[in-house]
A and B are shown apart, each in its own frame.
Chain A
Amino acid sequence: MAQRVLIIDDEWTIQLALKARLIAHGYAVELAEDGPAGIAAAKREPPDAILLDLRMPEMDGLEVTQHLKAAPETADIPVIMLTANVQDTVRQQALNAGACDFLTKPYDPAAVLDAIRTATSGVTRAAD
């Protein structure tokens, strides 16, 4: 059965691009357009990995991660942060919050696929 990836991003163009790429590589994809919807989707049917945008209205990616990590049913889902923000402090905050990887936009498709592969294989990638 195909692995499921939940994409939480308020930008529908990014959602579509990621979805097209992931489906082409054999993943099943679910979309959520903001934090609360994403958390709800993750709880309803826990995915194998979550691609999470950092900068979103209402609830940002850090808060979403904290919520996910705080709830036992979602705590073990690997979260890959995808953001246009490249500040080192933010990167550190994301990793502190429990994200397993941190990728910047515009992303390298190969890096995204690699990150998902690593996350779903159960190996936590060390922060570099």
Chain B
Amino acid sequence: MQSNGCAVVFGARPVAGLGRDLSGTGDGADGKQVEIWADSRVPIKRGSIGGDKRHRLESLPMRAPEHPREAERLAAVDEIGLVGGLPDELQQAAVHLASQICGTPIAAVSLVDRDRQWFSAIEGLDCRETPRDVAFCAHTILGDSPLVVSDATQDSRFSDNALVTGDPGIRFYAGIPLKTLDDPAVGSLCVIDSSPREISAGQLQSLQTLADLVAAQLEMHRYNHRITRRSEENRSLLEQITKIASQVPGVIYQFRTCPDGTSSFPYASDRIREIYRVSPEEVEHDASAVLAVLHPDDREGVETSIEESRRTLRPWKHEYRVRFDDGSEEWLLGNAIPQREADGSTLWHGFIQKITDRKVVEAALLDSQRIIRRQNTELTKMADRAHQVVDDVSHEFRTPLAVIKEFASIISDGIAGPVSDDQATYLQIMSGAVVDLNHMVEDLLDSSKLRAGILRVDRRSVTIQEIVDEGRPALASKASSRSITIEERLGDGLPCVFADSEKVRRVISNLMTNAIKFSPEGGAIVLSATAGPGAGEATISVTDNGPGLSAEDIDQLFGRFKQTSTARSIKAKGFGLGLSIAQELAWLNLGRLSVQSVKGEGATFSFTLPTNDPAAILSHYFDSIQSGEVAGTRFALLRALATGGPRADEAGAFLASIVYPSDLVLPGPRDELGQAWYVLGCTDSAERWGGKLRAACRQRSASGRDDLRPISIGLEGQWDRVERFDDAMRETCRVIAKENCHGTARADH
């Protein structure tokens, strides 16, 4: 009992011994049911409360306090969805029964809403609601037990109530809270009389049973309402999806195949009308309308690919055509992810789009590729014929040259009789001119061979000194004929370079020949070699004190070189073929040719060579591929193993002779099995390339001319030259560095 005296004990009522425990709050000393109110003096200060006109409040009643879980309770009331609606038939029957059982004129199911009580069923009163402030039921819902008021005029909470003082003149009230499980009560089932009276335990018991039924039915309403709301949410979600789907350029769909062989599109966005010219409804249960428009030539492919996807549960991706009644065709691309359903059917979620435009472009591209290929073939043939002509012409030149040179020599040697000093001098001049002419023919031949890709390049470790030594006599005699001095500045401790010494000699010779040509009588030419400028490279330079080149001259010489990186662009007047070939040969030696000059102050032509170190060689090699005209769409790395004695070292020269000059043959490690070689190059098919090399090696060992045992060739890797060139570089360097960490590059020869 509350000490502040606000606790109220309702009159003694014979409710004890009810079959159902209604004692939610405690028993009084006399064992009677007791209701305890937390605070009956709750001041209600609402001035005007709307409500039925017939029940307009005359004064402020004693308002019931709010339920402790009022928000939750109101949500439940709201969810039941009966407030403001039509009377509920089942509840109507229940209240009829309640009034019969209790013998009261009035009975009702009251739902206590935020500001009013709403009668979802009522008997004996033509009224659907009252303001909450005057609602007896607002009190009932606060407890778990029935609220019984025998005479409202005698109850301080209700004596001033408009419903007591006015219509309908309530005296007796009995209400059972309507609640399920732990939820707060949403209202009450109540019986009302205009005369004071009592209620029997039996009546109260029956009323409770009815209230339980009504509560259960309310719960059902609440559940139904929830389902309705969820389906509304689903519908709005579906609307959103449909809206999105309509924006996607293709059909979003579900496709199902059943074990019995039937198929359907349980869902298809509206765009299926554009893709297959059917409506989503047409194919919702039967996909045959779609299958009917598949192009006859593609139907089998579609069915096979779907079956494959069904069997393996791998994503379905397929390009195919549809053909419509009007004869028009479209290309489609389908993508879908399959999943197996419990009933054994397979359900795909996917997307199909039109790719007709793309296909048209692809077809046009293929056509033009075919044309280009044919033109290329023709051009290649023409070029081959042209090269053959050059080759033949060069060849034909050699014989008469040889004859002129030889007879000049025979005469000047006195074999045909005595010659005067003057005659001897003239014959020497004649011989010199023949040598020059022969060089030009050699240049022509080299150029022809370079273009045909049949120039053999055999790069190996060599010292710059060796190269210079071999070329010196010819150059010296040429220089001395014009009283030009040649100064050699070959630094000490120059690294070995990796190069084809004969080709390097040709480069030096061509550069020196140019320098001699442009030097004044009695001029000086400096041939120098230094390490650098980059890491792992050496530079050979030829400097003259001739007239030099202007920036325009250099541009003309090297301008196009910058763009195309090909030696063939050097065609400046006066330089002949020699410089062009020097440039190409420098490139084939994995180096670069450049010129520095100031007009009137001579010129310096230099070219680089990689040092004999795998890393340096590879780095220069990859630069050369990137900068030069090298055919082939793929980059390939082969590994060759030559078995058998010291001659295995010769295998490198042989391999170099059967690959393209732009390919690289690099020595690998040597072990008890033999000598390994790496063959790097660009090709369209690494497999075919490897096959060709293998065949050439077999042929060589079959000829039995030398003691070189068979060379086996394996493919180490291949990469797309455009898209994966970085990978190719990285991987190649990794493989070669790994193997070479135990060995060294090929020993000097």
Contact = CB atoms under 8 A, between A and B. Distances in A.
Interface of A: 11, 13-14, 17-18, 20-21, 24, 55, 84-89, 92, 95-96, 104-107, 109
Interface in B387-431: 394-396, 398-403, 405-407, 409-410, 413, 415-416
B197 to A, nearest CB: 130
Contact of B657 (A86, A88, A104, A105): A88
Contacts of A84: 394-396, 398-399, 402
B56 to A, nearest CB: 122
A95 B583 CA distance: 32
A24 B415 contact: yes
B390 to A, nearest CB: 13
Contacts of A107: 402, 406
Interface of B: 394-396, 398-403, 405-407, 409-410, 413, 415-416, 434, 438, 445, 449, 454, 456, 657, 703, 705
Contacts of A20: 407, 410, 415-416
A17 B434 contact: no
B402 A105 contact: yes
Given A96-B703, A96-B705, A106-B434, A85 B402 contact: no
Contacts of B396: 84
A108 B394 CA distance: 18
**Which of B396, B415, B703 has the largest count of A CB atoms less than 10 A from its CB?**
B415
A105 B398 contact: yes
A106 B415 CA distance: 19
A85 B395 contact: yes
Given A88-B657, A96-B705, A24 B410 contact: yes
Contact of A21 (B400, B415, B438, B456): B415
User: Chain B: interface secondary structure?
Assistant: helix
Given A84-B395, A84-B398, A109-B406, 14 more contacts: A13-B399, A14-B399, A14-B403, A84-B394, A88-B456, A92-B657, A95-B705, A96-B703, A96-B705, A105-B398, A105-B401, A106-B398, A106-B405, A107-B402
Contacts of B657: 88-89, 92
B400 A13 contact: yes
11 contacts: A11-B399, A13-B403, A14-B399, A14-B406, A17-B402, A20-B415, A55-B395, A84-B399, A96-B703, A96-B705, A109-B409
A106 B406 contact: yes
A87 B449 CA distance: 9
Contacts of B402: 14, 17, 84, 105-107
Nearest to B416: A20
Contacts of A96: 703, 705
A87 B438 CA distance: 16
Given A85-B395, A105-B398, A106-B398, A21 B410 contact: yes
B410 A17 contact: yes
A87 B409 CA distance: 26
Contacts of A109: 406, 409
Closest 6 CB pairs of A and B: A106-B402, A84-B398, A17-B406, A105-B402, A13-B403, A24-B415
**Which of B405, B449, B703 has the largest count of A CB atoms less than 10 A from its CB?**
B405
Contacts of A104: 398
Nearest to A15: B403
B415 A17 contact: no
Contacts of A85: 395
A88 B654 CA distance: 11
Nearest to B410: A20
B78 to A, nearest CB: 98
Nearest to B397: A84
A88 B445 CA distance: 13
**Which of A20, A85, A96 has the largest count of B CB atoms less than 10 A from its CB?**
A20
Contacts of B410: 17, 20-21, 24
A18 B407 CA distance: 9
B154 to A, nearest CB: 132
Nearest to B445: A86
A51 B403 CA distance: 15
A96 B402 CA distance: 26
A104 B394 CA distance: 13
A24 B411 CA distance: 11
A106 B398 CA distance: 6
Contacts of A17: 402-403, 406-407, 410
Contacts of A13: 399-400, 403
